[in-house]
Structure 1
Amino acid sequence: MGTTDMIGKLLCRIRLLLFIVVGLTLVGWASFYMKDSICFTPKYRTLLQNVWKSPLSEKKTEDNSRSPLVEQTSQKKVDLKTCPILSPKLKGVVPLMFPPNLTLADVEKKFPMMRDGHYQPETCKAQQKLVILIPHRNREKHLLYLLDNLLPFLQRQQLDYTIYVIHQAGNLTFNKAKLLNIGYLEVLEKQNWDCFIFHDVDLVPENDFNTYYCDSEPKHLMVGRNVTGYRLRYKENFGGVIAMTREQIAKANGYSNNYWGWGGEDDDFYYRVQLGKMEVLRPAREVARYRMLFHTRDAGNQVNQKRWELLKNVSKVWKTDGLNSCTYELLSIEHNPLYINITVDVGKPHH
């Protein structure tokens, strides 16, 4: 065998070895990528389409009470097709950003298309008209971070949404559940909403395949958080981010108004859903993931020492304690580009 033949065979072996090495490297990269972004696969997309192809998602609704912004573009949108349940703009897991010097003006510059907290897709008619209710007090930075990450998340989902922040005035004990009742009652007749989203201010979604749609049953969108290893802590956990229709909320009579301070109101709401003969739906754990923003316990939001006693009596009081017994004083309504702020006096605990 000549020297030239030996060199040729050696080069062939080197090329083959390099080909194998490159192939294994690409497979490794793909495996790593798919581990955190499983939603990109056609198989996973098909699975989610089957899960979310519910009668509620497909029903056609007539909107007879349009906002001025919608009215201006109604003629233009009359011939638009309905947006798909899973938007083609979804990216899956997107890095979250929390710049320390972020201001409201910074966020407003990023989303000039929003007016009065409202957005609707330009190229198709959204599946549902939804309203997002965010209870709030002393969490201005968290609100900025939530808006900065949530707005592009919702727009990639091609949703027609309006954001309301329900702000508790004063420094008395915080009552998140009552704020959500108030928010619901205040916005109920403002639009023909298909879906209500109850959203904690310190929870930022990580995966945009976790679509903010209402379904045929109440939907718990936050299955896991980073602080709990992205797992559901217990079956009755029904807090963080909830999607429900008007009919579903009415069946539960909303939240209890009696949970002052931290803890218990979400478990109470879960029991109300059960008592209203409804089931809780949850998306796949791989997509229903949230980043919880770090914070210390707020003054005025101390642990509710009465929560266990209240939970024992849910079945006795849920029909009389809720939306039908919610009292408050409306102090102001402020229209901002990114959200509408409703400030209320929720009163104080009755001892």
Structure 2
Amino acid sequence: MILTSIINIVYIVRRSLATHVIDNRTQTFLNSLEENATIKTSKKTISKTDQHFERTYKTFLHSFVETYVSTTQNRTITLNYCPPVPPNLQGSLVVNNVPDNFSIATNSSYYPNVELGGHYHPTTCLARHKIAIIVPYRDRLDILKHFLYHTHQIVQRQQLDYRIYVCEQAYNKTFNKGIVMNGCFKEILKLQPDTPCFIMHDVDLLLIDDRNMYTCPIFPRHLSVAIDKFHFYLPYTQLVGGVLAMRREHYVLVNGYSTNYWGWGGEDDDMYARIVNKNLKVERPPASVARYKMLKHTHQKLNPSRMKVLRTAHIRIDSDGVNNVKYTLLNTTLYHLYTHFLIDVGEEPK
């Protein structure tokens, strides 16, 4: 289309210049009858040149339109949207051990179709959903390795346009999940500002039913409903920790995670309060498909002051979160299977 417009402009300008030359010659004819023969010759020359230009223009335009239409039709045929229900889903899954030669530090031969930075999109159809998977992380290399090995294969079967972001808190400081998540959210939008859907995903949870789609519906969706550690039973209805899917606009609306929880626990229950306060509701898929295996690891001690902070959740929503989070991005590294953000959360207030 752009090229056609350019051709049309050239055509109009060419015609205008030709007319302008003729008008000048005509004026000369009126002023000086002696140059009549020269004017006639000049008119004939211009007329022949103009006719030649018109023939060339029409020929080229016809050729371009045929080529453009043909190319557009081929793209329409080859780049149809993926089916609403991905055809290669397997349902209930068995968690396999990580192969000895699997590495997350170098290019992995297990996932050659994953692009640098942990990005993948289907090649046979257009993905219906684009997502960013945010994984807060610190000091769990073996678990991260297992998570990446397991998750890539599942999300690919869901035919998603996805990218995995591992957000690591730097230094041996008290962990603050809220700052890490909010900082990661902001950095992702700097790299991919058109990302519409965010999956907040604990690194120690492995999906064991690929029918649990990693997409963002109308409302926030709590995906980790049934975890083996809890005998595949939801501990309490306010729980949104583990794996949570949220649209970008909803994350901004609730102001992301609170940054006032230092240590383990409290920030996810605070997120639930934010969702409800903003007149959203939490959706959940059936427990028969929203199933996860929790990898074994040493749990951190609970934050003893979390309940005190949680009691003020409703009055801090607009003043404590992603809109005023303070952090320092120390490094961004693109590995084959993931994008790594190293974030300094600062010092815990005394």
**TM-score normalised by L of structure 1:** 0.75
- CA shift, 1:78, in A, is 5.6
What does residue 44 of structure 2 align with? none
What does residue 128 of structure 1 align with? 129
Q: 1:111-260 counterparts in 2 under 5 A?
A: 111-115=111-115, 116-191=117-192, 192-260=194-262
What does residue 6 of structure 1 align with? none
What does residue 346 of structure 2 align with? 347
1:181 touches 1:326 (CA, 8 Å); kept in 2?
A: yes
| Inter-partner Cα distance in structure 2 for 1:147 and 1:104 | 10
Distance change (3 Å), C-alpha of 1:228 and 1:151: same
| Inter-partner Cα distance in structure 2 for 1:86 and 1:99 | 28
> Could you tell me which of 264, 267, 277 is aligned with 2:266?
264
| Inter-partner Cα distance in structure 2 for 1:164 and 1:170 | 19
| Inter-partner Cα distance in structure 2 for 1:75 and 1:230 | 49
Q: Percent identity?
A: 40
- CA shift, 1:85, in A, is 2.5
1:68-101 Cα offsets, whole Å, 9 max, x none, are xxxxxx9996641111222001000121112374
1:203-236 Cα offsets, whole Å, 9 max, x none, are 0000000000100000101001001011110011
1:150-177 Cα offsets, whole Å, 9 max, x none, are 1010011001001111011100111122
Look up the equivalent residue of 1:249 and give its one-letter code: Y
- CA shift, 1:112, in A, is 1.0
2:107 touches 2:336 (CA, 8 Å); kept in 1?
A: no
| Inter-partner Cα distance in structure 1 for 2:232 and 2:73 | 44
5+ long unaligned stretches in structure 1: 1-73
| Inter-partner Cα distance in structure 2 for 1:344 and 1:318 | 23
5+ long unaligned stretches in structure 2: 1-71
What does residue 84 of structure 2 align with? 85
RMSD: 1.8
| Inter-partner Cα distance in structure 2 for 1:175 and 1:310 | 14
Look up the equivalent residue of 2:184 and give its one-letter code: G
What does residue 35 of structure 1 align with? none
1:109-141 Cα offsets, whole Å, 9 max, x none, are 100111121000011111111111101110111
Look up the equivalent residue of 1:302 and give its one-letter code: K
Distance change (3 Å), C-alpha of 1:107 and 1:319: same
Distance change (3 Å), C-alpha of 1:107 and 1:287: farther
SS state at 2:297 partner: coil
Look up the equivalent residue of 1:109 and give its one-letter code: S
What does residue 324 of structure 1 align with? 323
- CA shift, 1:188, in A, is 1.4
Distance change (3 Å), C-alpha of 1:76 and 1:213: farther
Distance change (3 Å), C-alpha of 1:244 and 1:75: farther
**TM-score normalised by L of structure 2:** 0.75
- CA shift, 1:296, in A, is 1.1
1:77 touches 1:124 (CA, 8 Å); kept in 2?
A: no
SS state at 2:256 partner: coil
Look up the equivalent residue of 1:110 and give its one-letter code: Y
SS state at 1:342 partner: strand
1:77 touches 1:125 (CA, 8 Å); kept in 2?
A: no
1:217 touches 1:280 (CA, 8 Å); kept in 2?
A: yes
| Inter-partner Cα distance in structure 2 for 1:160 and 1:188 | 16
- CA shift, 1:107, in A, is 8.1
Look up the equivalent residue of 1:149 and give its one-letter code: H
2:178 touches 2:261 (CA, 8 Å); kept in 1?
A: yes
User: How many pairs are equivalent?
Assistant: 275
